[in-house]
Structure formats: structure tokens, C-alpha cells
Amino acid sequence: MAEYSKGLEGVIAADTKLSFIDGEKGVLEYIGIPIGQLAEHSTFEETVFLLWNGKLPSKGELADFTAKIRSLYALPDGFIDRIRAIPPSAEPMHVMRTLISMLSFYDATPNDIKPASVRDKALNMLAKAPTILAAFHRIRRGMPVIAPDTSLGLSENFLTMLNGQRPKPTMAKALDVCLVLHTDHGLNNSTFTARVITSTQSDVYSAITGAIGSLRGPSHGGANEGVMHMLNEIASVAAAEKFIQNKLEKKDKIMGFGHRIYKAYDPRATHLKVLAKALAEETGNIDLYDKSIAIEQVMLREKAAKGIYPNVDFYSATTYHCIGLPLDLFTPMFVVGRIGGWSAHVLEQLGDNRLFRPDVNYVGPHNVNYTPIDKR
């Protein structure tokens, strides 16, 4: 029997050139570039180009790539009517999973997995995901749908479609940084899901749809919503320590802390912490940020020795709230960013494919006699 590892922890399942993580030192790189440099200097569109092509684009390449994304913002004819048919009470992550999959209906060759075709399909999903999300949100609130503006970048366009007005440049930039930080992160659960589906030579729509289903779970992408719920439960900054201590005494999980990989400060959280403070000050949410700091201080005192630090979800919750995103759009916004990374892994998997088929450790009984139904 092969060595058993519950949850596949520590098992290497694929080669990648996309992102590198050193959990002990708190390092994350995309194609060798530290995440902090990309967050500070790059854009989401440029970061996706980097992951898909293994290099930063020239000015001309970036202009062409950006123009292509913008040209794909609009939804197909009749698609908005399909969104209107969805119950307003539907959870946005279920909506995203279903409607991203539905884009395959409008593709003449949905099952084509040649690299050029996969790139085109992935770019189409990447461009349309914000439009789908904004349209559903406005329809469920009884507001008119805002058409995409192809003169705007992806982040600014999304916030415009969502709120009906152009966002402040700082808000658009903040969302763009969040998307950069969320684009890729090694062989996490949802990325693994996308690669497993791709390994069967299934289509890219199926791969991305499966990945969205994985990301929905509160132990993965849904954790940022849990952080916001926790912050809302805490009455004041002064109440934060007692709240967290009570949870620790009951051995409750503190959302936004700890990571399977990182035993040091998550480098994405480092950048988001700075961003969250600036946005909180600008939007009058400094009390929210101060509660986050109070929680972190307790957790560092009690848990840092065990390698438990803030992860990407902890300060992304405050950041998304300050940008003005409704709570149940936090994780769907994560989807928008991660489509770029999932697609990069789909392309990488197709380049050197082998079907994923791990063994299972059977722990059940043997040689059990069948009992006829009249003797049970």
C-alpha cells in the first residue's frame, strides 16, 4: 500500500510554474515575482497575463489583452432573462456556479480543449463573471441592470455596474489589489478540483464550475464571510478580547486565522492589513479595523507560538466591506479573481496531463455473508 495522508496533506500531486509558497517564511510568488510587488505595481489583468504566459506583458501585449477582456464584458442575448428567472433569495455562490456553467450553452465548441480554445473560453468567463454577479445583485434588489462600460478596467467596471455610479479611484484600486492577491495560491482545494476535472479531458466550463463549488465551502473561500459575521457580533473594540477568549476556551474556530500551508504571517494578509486600514479611515469604518487589530493581538498572544496567524480572509473581509460589497458577494468576488488562476492551472494540466486516480484506504469489514431480506 502507498503511504496514507489524510486530506492528502504533504502529498505532491503536480508540477507547476505558476505560484510558489514557502509557508514557514510567509512567501508567495507568481512566476517568481513576490506577491507584494504585484499588489503594489501590477493590475489584475496584467497578473492574469503573467500566469497564462509565464512572463509580464509588453505595453502592446497588455493593451491587446486588456482590450480583449473588455470586448467580452457583455452577456449573450437572452442571458439577462435567465438571471431574472432566478429566485431573489438564491445564494450568489450558487448563482455564480450555475451561470458560469451556463455560458457553455452559448459556445459552439464547448468541449474543445485545445490550448487556444481553452484560453478563449477562460477569457470569456473571466470577462463575464463580474457582469453576471452585478446583474444578479441588481435584479434581486429590484434595480435596473447597468450595462458594462468597455472604457473601464475590470474592477472599476464591476463596481460601476454594481452600484450604478463610478467608484472612487481608491475603491477601484483596492478591489483590483484584492483580485491580484486572490488570483492563485498553489494547489489549494478549488485549484486541485479544477485540475482533477481537467485531467479527465473534460471541458474548461466543467473545471471552473467544479472549482466554484469547492470555493463555496466555509473552510475555503467562504471564510471571509465568516470573519465579517464575527466582527459584527463583537459590540465594540473593548469587547473583542473577551469575545475571542471565550471562543478559545470553548475551542471554537476563529475565522480568518490559521492556514494549512502558512506557519508564518500570510503575505497576502500583510498587504490587505495596510489596505484595510487606509480604506477604513477613508470610509469611516475605523472601528471595524480597530476590532480586527484587537482580535489579532489576542490571537498572536495566544496562538502565534503554534504557527497560527491571520490568513488572507481576515483582512479581506474589512477591505470588501469598506469597498461597499454586500456580505454575500464576498466569496463570489473571490471567484472573479480566482478564475484567472484556475484557468492557468487548467492550461498547465493539459500541457502534461495524467488522470488523477489516487487509491483509498479501505477500513471496512471483509467476508460478510449476505443476509436474505426475510431474515433481517
CB-CB contact of 326 with 162 (8 Å) = no
In 3D, which of 272, 62, 270 has the Cα closest to residue 176? 272
Burial class (CB in 10 A: 0-12, 13-18, 19+), 229: exposed
CB-CB contact of 323 with 285 (8 Å) = no
Separation between Cα atoms, residue 170 and residue 177, nearest integer Å: 10
Separation between Cα atoms, residue 316 and residue 181, nearest integer Å: 10
CB-CB contact of 293 with 331 (8 Å) = no
To the query of whether residue 313 is one of the catalytic residues in this protein, the response is: yes
Determine which one of 94, 112, 149, 220 is catalytic.
220
Determine which one of 259, 271, 321, 345 is catalytic.
259
Separation between Cα atoms, residue 42 and residue 49, nearest integer Å: 11
To the query of whether residue 137 is one of the catalytic residues in this protein, the response is: no
To the query of whether residue 41 is one of the catalytic residues in this protein, the response is: no
CB-CB contact of 167 with 160 (8 Å) = yes
- Residue 373 to residues 263, 368, 376, Cα–Cα distance (Å): 54, 15, 5
Determine which one of 176, 184, 266, 313 is catalytic.
313
Residues assigned a catalytic role: 220, 259, 313
